[in-house]
């Protein structure tokens, strides 16, 4: 069950390493606006929903700022740890939304106890997946890769199923697929963020 995956420390270690690689690629490309060097400009995050022992690397989102005077353009790389500005970790948003397809009061109560996610938040996440996400340029550009087509009303569960059984690898692959939606930096296609 995905409950176990959410509590698996190896998932969060792998996701951090992927984010470091994504950040290195962004930095090596230089500023998208002027080509200048990029300096570290990480910003604080207070992610919710993960294990209590995540470590200090989860308190910062990797980001950069152009070193050229007069430019100072921010370049935030895609992330597999964070889904845009959401306060809950990306793995939590994806897995919990998949588990709550057709949220029942009992299931909502269990998730609130396990992760501290309110029912309203769960409903907002479901609404985002079935509305904003499927209307995004990102989704319109990639949905044709799935044959047969994914069941939109079952997102993100139907997406996770295509990546395999309920394992750390499955979640990692799904988050890598979704990474372009996590930033609005110029080089990466973005998806309108959802709060929470």
In angstroms, the CA 71 to CA 50 distance is 36
First to last CA, the chain: 24
In the structure encoding, which two tokens stand for residue 99, read together?
């588990």
- What global pTM score does this model have? 0.87
**Per-residue pLDDT, 187:** 47
Q: Distance between CA atoms of 189 and 181, rounded to whole angstroms?
A: 6
* Distance between CA atoms of residues 127 and 61, nearest Å: 26
Chain-centroid distance of CA 144 in Å reads 21
Domain boundaries defined on the chain: 2-182
The pLDDT tens digits for 69-93 are 999 999 999 999 998 888 899 999 9
Q: How far is CA 165 from the centre of its chain?
A: 19
pLDDT attached to residue 104: 65
pLDDT digits (tens, 9 = 90+) for 160-181: 989 887 789 999 999 999 999 9
DSSP tag of 175:
H
State mean pLDDT over 8-23: 94
Q: What percent of the chain has pLDDT over 70?
A: 90
Across the chain, what does the average pLDDT equal? 86
């Amino acid at each position: 069950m995905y409950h176990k995956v959410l509590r698996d420390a190896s998932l969060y270690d792998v996701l951090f390493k992927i984010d470091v690689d994504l950040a290195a690629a962004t930095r090596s490309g230089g500023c998208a606006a002027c080509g200048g060097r990029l300096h570290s400009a990480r910003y604080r995050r207070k992610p919710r929903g993960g294990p209590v022992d995540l470590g200090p690397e989860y308190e910062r989102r990797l980001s950069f700022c152009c070193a050229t005077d007069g430019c100072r353009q921010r370049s935030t790389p895609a992330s597999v740890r964070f889904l845009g500005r959401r306060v809950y970790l990306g793995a939590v948003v994806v897995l919990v939304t998949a588990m709550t397809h057709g949220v029942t009061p009992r299931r909502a109560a269990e998730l609130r106890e396990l992760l501290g996610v309110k029912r309203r938040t769960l409903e907002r996440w479901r609404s985002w997946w079935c509305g904003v996400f499927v209307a995004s340029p990102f989704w319109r550009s990639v949905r044709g890769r799935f044959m047969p087509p994914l069941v939109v009303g079952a997102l993100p569960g139907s997406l996770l199923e295509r990546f395999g059984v309920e394992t750390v690898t499955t979640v990692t692959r799904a988050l890598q697929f979704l990474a372009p939606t996590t930033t609005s930096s110029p080089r990466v296609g973005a998806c309108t963020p959802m709060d929470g």
